[in-house]
């Protein structure tokens, strides 16, 4: 069982979340080739070791979180609000989104940085 520390709800089982995928840089739409878009959309590094992933808390606060997780042991090193910088001295790097309602859409779901409001 994987426990993910939600910055708003506290530790929850992974079945409450939807795994969005590993964090990777989005190519520039103006200059990206079709091969670069295919790579961004469909290819994952899937390393054995520490990776940074985005998860959506679908059965809780309905917000996105960025989780640093070991793919072999499922140990979680940190979890932060997606798009937020990790603040030293906070429990597990958890932070509140600055500015209150900024970065949220109707229903309170947070939009990930660099992502779309699907």
pLDDT at 66: 95
pLDDT at 118: 42
Q: Where are the domains of the chain?
A: 3-93
Q: What percent of the chain has pLDDT over 70?
A: 70
pLDDT at 22: 85
**56: β partners:** 18, 64
CATH number of 3-93: 3.30.2270.10
**12: β partners:** 4
- Tokens representing 62 are 């309905």
Tell me the whole-structure pTM to 2 decimals. Answer: 0.62
pLDDT at 70: 94
Distance CA 49, CA 88 (A): 23
List of the chain residues with pLDDT < 70: 84-118
């Amino acid at each position: 069982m994987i426990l993910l520390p939600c910055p708003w709800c506290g530790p929850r089982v992974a079945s409450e979340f939807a795994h969005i995928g590993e964090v990777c840089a989005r190519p520039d739409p103006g200059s990206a080739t079709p091969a670069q878009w295919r790579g961004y959309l469909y290819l994952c590094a899937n390393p054995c070791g520490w990776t940074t992933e985005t998860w959506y808390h679908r059965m809780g606060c309905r917000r996105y979180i960025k989780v640093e997780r070991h793919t072999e042991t499922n140990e979680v090193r940190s979890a932060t609000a997606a798009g937020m910088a990790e603040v030293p001295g906070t429990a597990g790097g958890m932070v509140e989104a600055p500015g209150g309602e900024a970065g949220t859409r109707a229903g309170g779901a947070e939009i990930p940085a660099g992502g779309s409001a699907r």
